[in-house]
Amino acid sequence: MRILTAKHVLPITSDPIEDGAVVIDGSNIVAVGKTADVSKQFPDAGTDDFGDAAILPGFVNCHSHLEITAMRGALDDVEHDFMAWLIKLSRVRESMSDDEIAEAAYIGALEGAQAGVTCFGDIGRLGHIGLSGLKRAGLRGVVFQETEFSPENRTADNDFKKLIGKFERLAAESTDLVRVGLSPHAPYTVSSRLFESIAQFSIIERFPLTIHAAESLAEQELLTDGGGEFVRVYEKYSVDWESPAIGGGFGRFVATAVRNGQSCVFSSAEHAAVGLVIAPPSTPTPTPSSSLTPRPRPTPRPR
Ligand SMILES: [Zn+2]
């Protein structure tokens, strides 16, 4: 049993405590309060005083890509052009070995820890690399196995089979601290049919899901008008992309995530498409549809 004390303790679920203490027993927190009170309650416990500091829960980075840590700065020149950014990202990734990517992922996890991040939601094409990085750094997280480029319904069954193979290999490596989930990359790279398969699978297995949505104006144009730059790319490469219609694969995927208790955070463009309303209060949102609206959980207040 140890008592950790500091000028400030921030429980987050209640008001800050000045001259506060956190009592730990192994990996469990057994008490939080004023140092003076806690010291009386646990007279035999040793104390580590951090002085003029704040003790608070670790931060959560709910969207990281540890496997591309080494690309910092390498894509800055194409930041303004989403398509060019995607192409350059793939090219740089292909130029790196798996060992180089794994080392970078581990360093990324350590860098997060240094900044106070103790829990990651990490998305990876090479899921096992993020998972190993987090395990090696002793951090907590959910590693989401991401789909490959799989926009066509005709290959969906095979795409799903390959994805589940990777997911199961990843799940075999999971621990109490690092769990696994799936990430259909984005509406424009995942077929409607694959979305449905992933949604069904997640209902049965009850694992977390995440997705990239509404990242660019080009994507918004594709989903709302069925046109724009993506359509030109599909035509160029003869890709038979079928819109994941709202109420179809993509909509059901989102509804499944919500039913599984996940809080979906979408930008306003995506709100417009699926009628979800969890967002900062200042974000203007359209009127939600009744059935898909998740209820934000109230912040518990101490009594
Ligand atoms: Zn991302």
User: Measured in angstroms, how far is the CA atom of residue 225 from the centroid of ligand 1?
Assistant: 24
User: Measured in angstroms, how far is the CA atom of residue 246 from the centroid of ligand 1?
Assistant: 22
The pLDDT of residue 295 is above 70: no
User: Measured in angstroms, how far is the CA atom of residue 122 from the centroid of ligand 1?
Assistant: 9
The pLDDT of residue 168 is above 60: yes
Q: Is the pLDDT higher at 132 or at 240?
A: 132
Please report the pLDDT score of residue 252 as a whole number. 60
Instruction: Specify which residues 180 forms β-bridges with.
Output: 143
Please report the pLDDT score of residue 154 as a whole number. 92
User: Measured in angstroms, how far is the CA atom of residue 133 from the centroid of ligand 1?
Assistant: 17
User: Measured in angstroms, how far is the CA atom of residue 44 from the centroid of ligand 1?
Assistant: 48
Q: Tell me the pLDDT tens digit for each residue of 84-109.
A: 888 888 888 888 899 999 999 999 99
Please report the pLDDT score of residue 230 as a whole number. 86
103-107, 132-136, 265-269: segment of lowest average pLDDT: 265-269
User: Measured in angstroms, how far is the CA atom of residue 10 from the centroid of ligand 1?
Assistant: 30
The pLDDT of residue 298 is above 70: no
**Cβ proximity of 241 and 186 under 8 Å:** no
Q: What CA–CA distance (Å, rounded) separates 41 from 46?
A: 12
224's tokens:
């709302």
The pLDDT of residue 225 is above 80: no
Q: Is the pLDDT higher at 193 or at 295?
A: 193
Please report the pLDDT score of residue 40 as a whole number. 95
The pLDDT of residue 256 is above 70: no
User: Measured in angstroms, how far is the CA atom of residue 175 from the centroid of ligand 1?
Assistant: 23
User: Measured in angstroms, how far is the CA atom of residue 127 from the centroid of ligand 1?
Assistant: 13
Within 13 Å of residue 208, how many CA atoms lie on the same side as its CB?
A: 16
User: Measured in angstroms, how far is the CA atom of residue 251 from the centroid of ligand 1?
Assistant: 20
Q: Is the pLDDT higher at 297 or at 223?
A: 223
Q: Rounded to two decimals, what is the model's pTM?
A: 0.78
Please report the pLDDT score of residue 265 as a whole number. 45
Please report the pLDDT score of residue 291 as a whole number. 39
Q: Tell me the pLDDT tens digit for each residue of 31-70.
A: 999 999 999 999 999 999 999 999 999 999 988 999 988 8
Question: Environment class of residue 163 by beta-carbon count within 10 Å: exposed (0-12), middle (13-18) or buried (19+)?
Answer: buried
Share the mean pLDDT of the chain: 82
User: Measured in angstroms, how far is the CA atom of residue 212 from the centroid of ligand 1?
Assistant: 6
Q: What CA–CA distance (Å, rounded) separates 230 from 93?
A: 22
Phi, psi of 168 (to 5 degrees): -70, -35
